[in-house]
Structure 1
Amino acid sequence: MRILSRFLSLFVVLVGATNAMADAPVVVPPDASVAGVSQADWSQRWWEWAGSFDREESPVADRTGALCGSGQSGDVWFLAGTYGTQRTVRTCRVPRGKYLFFPLINYVVVRRPDRATSCEAVASSAASITEGVSALVLEIDGVRHGDLHRHRLATRGCFDIGARTPERIRVYPAAANGYYVMLQPLPPGRHTLNFGGALPSMLQAVTYSLVVE
């Protein structure tokens, strides 16, 4: 409880004095497809992207944003969450016209290499771990956005999280669950994005200074 209180206090700092809530046309409804792909499937693609790096070269482990362009292609630009609970502040240059997709908080479960594991088992575990969310935060350029519980997504079936690794290491079955947001392309210029969430077993707080070019 003490950790959660500090986390929520942190977000008061992140969002500042504004209490504005926005319906925000910039936020894509979670049931809407982007580039012909459902957001549930984008969540799988996000994990395949995140799983394609060695940890020391991963945008998820990156503390500055220097790696935010790694492995990016197509209409949707992925933003990384974090490892651990320490607040992370990054600067990221994004090409104009890109949708942005990122997790407020999420989790993936993969099979253990020393035992057989079913797809149903890892999917059930991912769903269980992401139950009981107590905070979800999304703030774009000083405006706080609500109604975030409806952005919970689960990967459909199971997938191979090693599909995009250079060595094509097969890590199957994997299943993910969590809260994700898709943003419409932001206008050129500088933008500040704060996001995160709190689950019983994990916390996340991320700030991006985005430069859309």
Structure 2
Amino acid sequence: MTEVATGGASWEIDGNTGGELAGRWWKWALSAPDDRSPVKDTTGEHAAWDQPDDVWFLAGTYGGRTTRTCPLPAGRPVFFPVLNMQHSRSHSKTPLSLPVAEALARLNGMPLQLSEFAGPFRTRFTRRYAWGLWGVLAPLIPGQYVLEIKADTGEGFWVDTTYHLTATAD
């Protein structure tokens, strides 16, 4: 199992803790129309869809290998899932987390700290529960970056995502 840290001051963005950010990420991801969904996007074309002003969300995937290229604003923190799930708490047989055989993220080859966060969030009609291993990037200076994200549950579900990021000045 990959060792992860618990939330702390570095996991607070504009007063939002890691669990709150995870809920915000899910609301963002679930609100996208199918034809502009950053999660379904295999190229990065829809990465900028409805981004909030205080943080930049990178999309997760539905598993497998994906390579995305996208610009993002320099000077804004970046929050992203490595491995995550969400569901209604009414499904008592649904586990509240996934098994983790491997989980890592690297920015330009340097390993990043991951943290596990869980918590409730509300969509327009329902209360949901989020769990995940998440990464955060401090605001980037203008330039080119490669973010690699890999995870494996050991039970057949795996993620291998590469982001080619260009941080641009506003």
- Pairing partner for 2:116 from 149, 152, 156: 152
Deviation at 1:186, TM superposition (A): 1.2
List runs of 5+ in structure 2 lacking aligned partners. Answer: none
CA distance in 1, matches of 2:92, 2:29: 18
Aligned length: 161
Deviation at 1:126, TM superposition (A): 4.6
SS in 2 for 1:62: coil
CA distance in 2, matches of 1:48, 1:100: 16
Instruction: Give the letter for the 1:160 counterpart.
Output: R
* Aligned CA distance change for structure 1 residues 92 and 191 (closer, same or farther; 3 Å): same
CA distance in 1, matches of 2:92, 2:38: 25
RMSD: 2.0
CA distance in 2, matches of 1:68, 1:48: 15
- Kindly indicate whether residue 109 of structure 2 is the aligned counterpart of residue 142 of structure 1: yes
* Aligned CA distance change for structure 1 residues 76 and 201 (closer, same or farther; 3 Å): same
- Kindly indicate whether residue 157 of structure 2 is the aligned counterpart of residue 188 of structure 1: no
Q: Which has the higher helix share?
A: 1
CA distance in 1, matches of 2:26, 2:165: 21
List runs of 5+ in structure 1 lacking aligned partners. Answer: 1-27, 111-118, 164-169
Structure 2 length-normalised TM: 0.86
- In structure 2, the partner of 1:49 is 28
SS in 2 for 1:210: strand
Deviation at 1:137, TM superposition (A): 1.2
Structure 1 length-normalised TM: 0.70
Does the 8 Å contact 1:109/1:126 carry over to 2?
A: no
Instruction: Give the letter for the 1:185 counterpart.
Output: P
- Kindly indicate whether residue 91 of structure 2 is the aligned counterpart of residue 91 of structure 1: no
Output aligned runs, 1:7-18, within 5 Å: none
Output aligned runs, 1:2-41, within 5 Å: 30-32=7-9, 33-41=12-20
Deviation at 1:122, TM superposition (A): 4.6
SS in 1 for 2:165: strand
CA distance in 2, matches of 1:51, 1:211: 25
Instruction: Give the letter for the 1:134 counterpart.
Output: A
Does the 8 Å contact 1:109/1:123 carry over to 2?
A: no
CA distance in 1, matches of 2:106, 2:92: 30
CA distance in 2, matches of 1:35, 1:123: 33
* 1:50-107: CA deviation from partner (whole Å, max 9, x where unpaired): 0001223200000110100001021200000112x32110011111111000000000
Deviation at 1:184, TM superposition (A): 0.4
- In structure 2, the partner of 1:108 is 86
Instruction: Give the letter for the 2:101 counterpart.
Output: S
- Kindly indicate whether residue 50 of structure 2 is the aligned counterpart of residue 71 of structure 1: yes
Does the 8 Å contact 1:123/1:176 carry over to 2?
A: no
SS in 2 for 1:35: coil
* 1:18-62: CA deviation from partner (whole Å, max 9, x where unpaired): xxxxxxxxxx97322111111110000000000001223200000
